[in-house]
Chains A and B, each alone.
Chain A
Amino acid sequence: MQNTNSRNDFNWEDRRSLEKKAGDDIQDKIIAVILFCCALVSVLTTFGIVFIIFRVTFEFFQEVSFAQFFLDTQWTPLFAEKHFGIWPLLNGTLLTTTIAMLVAIPLGLSAAIYLSEYASPKVAAILRPAVELLAGVPTVVFGYFALLFVTPVLRNFLPLEVFNALSAGLMTGIMVMPTVSSISLDALQSVPRSLREGAYAMGVTKLEVITKVIFPAALSGIAASIILGISRAVGETMIVVIAAGQQPRLSLNPFQTVETMTAYMAQISGGDSPRGSLNYKTLYAVGAVLFLITLTLNIVSHQIASRYKEKS
């Protein structure tokens, strides 16, 4: 087999004819198998998650009917009179996530637009890592801040309960902001230069170039970043369990105590509920709903992002 033009793709088969130490090939094959097993761990993790969660969820639905889970409007699995309606938990999650995104979308996009279009390279070199540093703050710290700083400050103007959806949502928004900004920034920066120059040649201002040309061109990347941000906010646990409280209710009042899916999971867990008990099973049933929601959001975000990458 002659391969004269192997500059870019080295043909591995070619060198089999060369002399080499005995055992080299076997060692190479063993290593390939070991590395393959490493890659397999990630697949096994997914299988593990799906298998464990849905097996226990299946057991849960043998005791609690779908109707009780999806049609009831009360969530009181820990009380004497048990109700298993998921809606109050979904309501709490929806409320805190909405508040979070009302914070994260404008802040994240502002940051991305400023860093991509306005900031000089020197300024961007300082500000970009600073925003990324925000992503490194552990969420338990944001929870502390929400409960012991944001809530007391807001209570000066607003009739807030001690635990409330507003403070938790605001801090979750700050937590999500770097996710939105860093992916949007990549999208904005990959808008071709020619498009900008063409727009400037029409004699429009910088803001008009941004809002009418660059932003629409980067829209799919920005949409992907927002959907991923929503997924992060839905799955966030420590902030809501510390600052939003543990009172499942169907209400869109952000000043009240609510309970999110993740907060319920944190409340019930801790190995306190013995395996096989109904409480243990509710943990997995709620976890399954959470997993399906975030998985859907991640796939949608990934899909939008990959379509946009193909285009550019």
Chain B
Amino acid sequence: MATSFYQNDFQESTEEFNPQLEKREKIGKIFEILFLIGLSIGLLVLAILVFDVFKDGLGRLLTPGFLTENPSRFDDKGGIRPAIFGSVLLGLLVMLVAVPIGVGAALYLEEYAPKAWWTDIIEINIANLAGVPSIVYGLLGLGVFYYLLGFGPSLITGALTLSLLSLPIIIVTAREAIRAVPNSLREASYGLGTTKWQTVWNHVLPYAIPGILTGVILSVSRAIGDAASLLVIGAVSFLTFNPGLFQRFMALPIQIYSYISRPEPGFANAAAATIIVLLFVVLVLNGVAIYLRNRFSLLK
């Protein structure tokens, strides 16, 4: 009797089926907690790092003159003024050089570029440049700006190297911002008989500015925090003056590195104090960029 045979089989399997839902939910709960722990570890490390740096460096930071004096050979004297000055100048120069080029490139790729094999190559190329390690940009800077153009280990060499380093981030974020501008805006503008550039300049760009700004802030913050590329072009130096454009220079990350490399324990505190300054600048810039991006993406 074939039918009863199947029936038996079916009943057996239903008897065996035991969902054990409680146990499975319990395992699920355990993993949820594990995932949360995994997420928290990174944040916990950041918190411990900030706490540790403040513990080591706050006293030194509050010594009179730390922000306004020149560095000293003695670990408990002197300050980081040339480094602050250098980092501010580097940040400004990067903005001056990288932002127009980056936004220009983004505008070209989004608004002007035809669909062709070579525009694809430019796009792939930019994606790859974003992944090139910063020390390799240092080699480029050393080869081109230091030796080929003869700028030597100067502020301008550093600024141009950091500009090239920041360019891919600016281009990628600016393109996203420009792409998010609704087409109806462009059509309305064209409908009034404007030229392409008038449309781009008066309507597309103003609309895309919050998004572009996000990329600019992120990239400048990355440039200010970057040390590897500056290390290659020989930025480690000991300055007792505010640097000029074509002179040797210091920057905050390089100052930190040079403090860490010295044996006297007091320099570790000076490094921590400098880190507080750098972290403050970089994290505030990042925070502003993230805030801007979140607001901007809500608008979309």
Residues of A within 8 A of B (CB): 7-8, 10, 12, 15, 18, 20, 24-25, 27-28, 31-32, 34-39, 41-43, 45-46, 48-49, 52-53, 56, 106-107, 109-111, 113-115, 118, 125, 127, 129-145, 147-149, 174, 177-178, 203-208, 228, 231-232, 234-238, 241-242, 262, 265-266, 269-272, 275, 283-284, 287, 290-291, 294-295, 297-299, 301-302
Q: Is the CB of B196 within 8 A of A28?
A: yes
Among A136, A236, A291, which residue has its beta carbon within 8 angstroms of that of B286? Answer: A136
Known contacts A39-B122, A144-B271, A235-B135; decide if A149 and B195 are in contact (CB<8 Å): no
Q: Chain B contacts of A20 at CB under 8 A?
A: 193, 195
CB distance from B236 to the nearest CB of A (A): 6
Q: Which residue on chain A has the smallest CB distance to residue B148?
A: A52
If over half of A's interface residues share one DSSP class (helix, strand or loop), that class is named, otherwise mixed; here it is: helix
Residues of B within 8 A of A (CB): 19, 21, 24-25, 27-28, 31-32, 34-39, 41-43, 45-46, 48-49, 52-53, 56, 100-105, 107-109, 112-113, 121-122, 124-129, 131-140, 142-144, 146-147, 152-153, 164, 167-168, 171, 183, 186-187, 190, 193, 195-197, 218, 221-222, 224-228, 231-234, 236, 253, 256-257, 260, 268, 271-272, 275, 278-279, 282-283, 285-287, 290-291, 294
CB distance from A304 to the nearest CB of B (A): 13
Q: Is the CB of A46 within 8 A of B38?
A: no
Q: Chain A contacts of B193 at CB under 8 A?
A: 15, 18, 20
If over half of B's interface residues share one DSSP class (helix, strand or loop), that class is named, otherwise mixed; here it is: helix
Q: Which residue on chain B has the smallest CB distance to residue A8?
A: B183
Q: Is the CB of B38 within 8 A of A110?
A: yes
Q: Is the CB of B190 within 8 A of A137?
A: no
Q: Chain B contacts of A136 at CB under 8 A?
A: 218, 221-222, 225, 282-283, 285-286
Q: Chain A contacts of B31 at CB under 8 A?
A: 207
C-alpha spacing A242/B43, complex, angstroms: 22
